[in-house]
Amino acid sequence: MKRNRAVWKLGGLVALLMALFLLSFLLGRYPVALDDVLRSFIGREQDTSVSAVVLQIRLPRILLACLVGACLSMAGTAYQGVFQNPMAAPDILGASSGAAFGAALAILMGLSGQWITLLAFAGSLLAVLAAYLVGQRAKGYKVVNLVLAGVMVSSLFSAGTSYLKLVADPGSQLPEITYWLIGSLAGAEMPQIKMALIPMVLGTVPLLLIRWRINVLTFGDEEARTMGVNASRVRLVVIICATLLTASSVSLSGMIGWVGLVIPHLCRRFIGNDYRHLLPASLLVGAAFLLLVDNFSRSLLATEIPIGILTALVGVPFFIYLMLGEERFT
């Protein structure tokens, strides 16, 4: 009975995301009707300016919002399950700080476009790798050591980013670095999305396939061993997949916070703690949430509001509400 109820809820989330996906094409400073959107997709739109707005401007941005929201939310859900920590977020191992350092370094070197994305992705992976190596070599409980190593590595890369901002040209490079750090989906392009789609798929598919094993991890390593699950191996796979999701997302959109922290808790309230349903729900709700916030970002004022600011304005009050709710905060 519970399984059927969860399936119906997931079906409702799919319908909600599809409706919001279509609605997003209609919003913006350039008015576009629904029939114009449909004709653009099937290649029968006669007005080339309308087709350009739909296919070259709004489609990449809408896809990017869905992908980044889904990936950050899934990564946060996976990390919270692996570390058994309700405050775990996609940047818990320093992925976001490493990406920020890589992007700032690329901007300081005069690079642009895909090179910023590549260096941000590389910096993110480097930070997580450093945290993992330090956590494995330290004595004591490995999970706690990994979290502490992530905090230290994150602080180190943040210091590096601060230094790069200090030596950057205040007239051109510093504003670009600052804008990237705020987070934005403006300027989304299909080539960059296609490039990031590979690590996103490599991170998403294994997580969905082994999501039942994350349930076992919540019982502890000893209990998992009695059920035939190698907790250390599963934990490593989950960390690698969640890192790929975080790195690919942050490298495209910049620093967008709170999605991977708030959405998993919201989904737990909606669908329960079973990761077989929780991970797909996080994927769908994360995509819908960031798409909705981005619609406000580009439509609310005459000038676009960086989406990283809006996610914080929405996420912080909502997270406080979850903490102060009647149910226990888990």
- DSSP-assigned states of every residue in 286-330: HHHHHHHHHHHHHHSSSSPPPHHHHHHHHHHHHHHHHHHSSS---
> Is 98 inside a domain boundary?
yes
> Is 238 inside a domain boundary?
yes
pLDDT of residue 119: 95
pLDDT greater than 70 at residue 289: yes
In single-letter form, the type of residue at position 101 comes to F
Are the CB atoms for 241 and 202 separated by under 8 Å?
A: yes
Give residue-wise pLDDT tens across range 83-92: 888 888 888 8
More confident residue, 43 or 133: 133
How remote is the C-alpha of 257 from its chain's centroid?
A: 8
Instruction: For 278, list phi and psi in degrees, rounded to 5.
Output: -70, -40
The helix/strand/coil state of 249 is helix
> Is 329 inside a domain boundary?
no
Joined together, the tokens standing for residue 143 give: 């999970």
pLDDT greater than 50 at residue 329: no
Find the largest Cα–Cα distance for the chain. 67
Structural domains counted in the chain: 1
> Is 214 inside a domain boundary?
yes
Are the CB atoms for 247 and 125 separated by under 8 Å?
A: yes
d(CA 117, CA 249): 10
d(CA 273, CA 86): 12
Spatial CA neighbour of 262 closest among 232, 223, 242, 289: 289
pLDDT greater than 70 at residue 327: no
pLDDT greater than 70 at residue 328: no
> Is 313 inside a domain boundary?
yes
Instruction: For 168, list phi and psi in degrees, rounded to 5.
Output: -70, 155
pLDDT greater than 90 at residue 226: no
**CATH assignment of the domain containing 29:** 1.10.3470.10
Give residue-wise pLDDT tens across range 95-145: 999 999 999 999 999 988 789 999 999 999 999 999 999 988 888 787 888
Sign, CA dihedral 101-102-108-109, equals positive
pLDDT of residue 2: 67
d(CA 106, CA 104): 5
Domain assignment of residue 88, given as a range: 2-324
d(CA 157, CA 315): 25
pLDDT greater than 50 at residue 274: yes
For 285-302, what is the mean pLDDT? 92
Residue identified by tokens 């899934």 is 74
> Is 330 inside a domain boundary?
no
pLDDT of residue 139: 80
